[in-house]
Amino acid sequence: MTDRWPDLAVLELLVAVSENGSLSAGARAVGMAQPNASRALAAWEKSLGVRLLERSPRGSRLTADGDVVVDWASAVLGAARELHTAIAALRRDQNSHLTVAASLTVAEYLIPLWLTRLRREHPSLDVALLVHNSTEVFDLVASGRAAVGFVESPGVPHSLRRSAVSHDRLVVVVSPGHPWARRRRPLGASELADTPLVVREPGSGTRTTLDEALAGYRRAEPILELSSNAAVRVAVASGAGPAVLSELAVGAAVRSGELVAVPVFGLELVRTLHAVWTDAASLHPAAANLVAIARSSNGP
Provide the 3-class DSSP secondary structure of residue 140: helix
Distance CA 250, CA 235 (A): 12
Pair 180, 140: CB distance under 8 Å: no
Tens-binned pLDDT, residue by residue, of the chain (300 aa): 455 677 888 999 889 888 888 888 888 988 999 889 889 888 888 888 889 888 877 777 888 998 899 889 888 988 888 787 666 555 555 557 899 999 999 999 999 999 999 989 888 889 999 999 999 999 999 999 999 999 998 889 999 999 999 999 999 999 999 999 999 899 999 999 999 999 999 999 899 999 999 998 999 999 999 999 999 999 999 999 999 999 999 999 999 999 999 999 988 898 999 999 997 666 788 899 999 999 998 544
Q: Does domain 169-269 have CATH number 3.30.450.20?
A: no
Provide the β-strand partners of residue 264.
187
The average confidence (pLDDT) of the chain is 89
CATH number for the domain whose boundaries are 8-93 = 1.10.10.10
Instruction: Provide the CATH number for the domain formed by 97-166+272-298 in this structure.
Output: 3.40.190.10
Query: Who contacts 69 (Cβ-Cβ below 8 Å, separation ≥6)?
Result: 14, 50, 52
Give the whole-angstrom CA distance, residue 259 versus residue 101: 29
Give the separation between CA 69 and CA 221, rounded to whole angstroms. Answer: 79
The full set of domain ranges for the chain reads 8-93, 97-166+272-298, 169-269
Q: Do 8-93 and 97-166+272-298 agree at the fold level? A: no
Instruction: Check the CA dihedral 292-296-298-300 and report its sign.
Output: positive
Query: What gap in Å lies between CA 227 and CA 295, rounded to an integer?
Result: 27
